[in-house]
Amino acid sequence: MENTVKVGIFMTLALAVLGYLILRAEQISLFRPAGKRLVAEFASVAGLDDQSAVRVAGVRVGRVDGIELRGREARVNIIVEREVPLLAGTYAEIKNLGLLGDKYVELVPGPAGGALLPEGAVISGQPSVGIDQVLSS
């Protein structure tokens, strides 16, 4: 086998491995369904980042897929990747994973017996007590 063919095969394998690592690092999924999309509106999302976790009862069920400013409110686009029955009355809170941990969105499901939230539903974001407020008081 010629050296040129060997180098070509090596480079192809190296690029395939690099592509896989990039997709894993950025948490991009090519073969999974995107999941249910929701929008949560907050007065402030200080410290929340794009790609942050979305949890229900502490269990990761999705991720944040963008944050934008609409007027004086922040709109957080959420993708729920697991089958979780989110009913009417569901609201969102921004919480910390510890005293100095990352921030995430906690979805609190609505009361039993309600209708399921449709794709693209807008839910309210409840203010949560931040470390700044605790320290100032």
Give, for 80, the enclosing helix (H) or strand (E): strand 73-80
In whole angstroms, give the CA distance from residue 105 to residue 82.
15
In whole angstroms, give the CA distance from residue 84 to residue 97.
21
Cα 109 from chain centroid (whole Å): 17
Q: What is the pTM of this model?
A: 0.71
Q: Write down the pLDDT at residue 17.
A: 95
- pLDDT, one tens digit per residue, over 43-92 is 888 888 888 889 998 889 988 988 999 888 999 999 988 888 888 889 99
Which tokens hold the place of 78? 């959420």
pLDDT at 133 over 70: no
**Under 8 Å between Cβ of 55 and 61:** yes
The answer to which of 15-19, 41-45, 113-117, 125-129 has the lowest mean pLDDT is 125-129
Give, for 48, the enclosing helix (H) or strand (E): none
